[in-house]
């Protein structure tokens, strides 16, 4: 269930009115790897398998993409307010070093990176992506419109983020919503991983701002173009430029602002 009805009191034009409002559901998900607790992430329940697959891939918990095949043993739904849990079995050969030291127990829905114990700067020197054909700026509006049309939970609650992925022909591959921006991205990446479609993906669109974490996840997934409804952070732009990625913000109607690698775009 992605939304929940709650009783509320609305103040409007000097008067109070009783009403029912729909709010986005936020619940904790306990992630255990090989029987050991790895993290608790706050998310909107649903598509948890995709979420975990994408998270493990974009955060470099596993060394190889094919290590995801068959590693998810079970997604156990909690009852009421209890914590739902996912138990993952991954052969040690696929795990990165010190995997259980890289993240503290709780990661909020607003910023998964904030749950990490240390920031590893060595990855910032990774080679840049090869963007391929320039991004056609005239296709931005249709991509953002396609993402918005798929935001069914946001239409009801007004409080979810979305991430959509498009291929080189600007065709929509998938859209996912979540209370957390990074969760929506992980769900999209996990969905494409499971279907062996990630190599076709080219453009990531997001409904909110672009932080470094969004850029990092897009880079790990091989997505050279990141389009956002709102603005990017300065660090996100700096690192995107280094990684050969093009970041566009304020993608609304027929407008957009290009912040990095502008030569990779075309009118």
Active site residues: 111
Q: Tell me how far apart the alpha carbons of residues 27 and 37 are, in angstroms, rounded to a whole number.
A: 17
CA dihedral angle for residue 163, residue 168, residue 170, residue 172, rounded to 10 degrees: -50
The residues near 112 (Cβ < 8 Å, ≥ 6 apart) are: 41, 55, 59, 180, 182, 183, 186, 213
Nearest to 86 by CA among 78, 68, 74: 74
Q: 192 vs 87, 161, 181, CA distance in Å?
A: 21, 19, 17
3-state secondary structure of 76: strand
Cα distances (angstroms) measured from residue 28 to each of 54, 83, 109, 157: 17, 6, 9, 19
Dihedral sign of CA atoms 133, 137, 139, 145 in order: positive
- Residue the block writes with tokens 């991205």: 185
CB atoms within 10 A of CB 111: 15
């Amino acid at each position: 269930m992605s939304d929940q009805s709650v009783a509320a009191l609305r103040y409007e034009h000097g008067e109070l009115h009783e009403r029912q409002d729909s709010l986005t559901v936020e619940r904790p998900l306990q992630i255990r790897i090989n029987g050991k607790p790895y993290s608790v992430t706050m998310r909107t329940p649903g598509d948890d398998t995709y979420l975990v697959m994408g998270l493990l891939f974009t955060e470099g918990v596993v060394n190889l993409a094919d290590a995801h095949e068959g590693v998810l043993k079970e997604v156990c739904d909690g009852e009421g307010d209890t914590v739902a849990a996912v138990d993952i079995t991954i052969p040690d050969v696929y795990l990165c070093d010190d995997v259980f030291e890289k993240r503290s127990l709780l990661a909020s829905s607003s910023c998964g990176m904030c749950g990490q114990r240390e920031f590893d700067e060595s990855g910032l020197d990774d080679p840049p992506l090869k963007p391929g054909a320039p991004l056609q700026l005239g296709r931005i509006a249709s991509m953002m419109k396609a993402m918005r049309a798929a935001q069914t939970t946001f239409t009801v609650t007004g409080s979810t983020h979305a991430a959509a992925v498009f291929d080189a022909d600007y065709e929509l591959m998938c859209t996912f919503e979540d209370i957390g921006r990074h969760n929506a991205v992980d769900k999209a990446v996990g969905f494409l991983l499971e279907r062996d479609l990630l190599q076709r993906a080219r453009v990531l669109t997001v409904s909110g701002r672009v932080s470094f974490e969004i850029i990092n996840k897009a880079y790990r997934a091989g997505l050279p173009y990141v389009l956002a409804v709102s603005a990017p952070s300065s660090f996100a732009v700096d690192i995107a430029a280094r990684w050969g990625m093009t970041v566009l913000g304020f993608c609304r109607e027929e407008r957009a602002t290009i912040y990095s690698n502008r030569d990779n775009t075309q009118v």
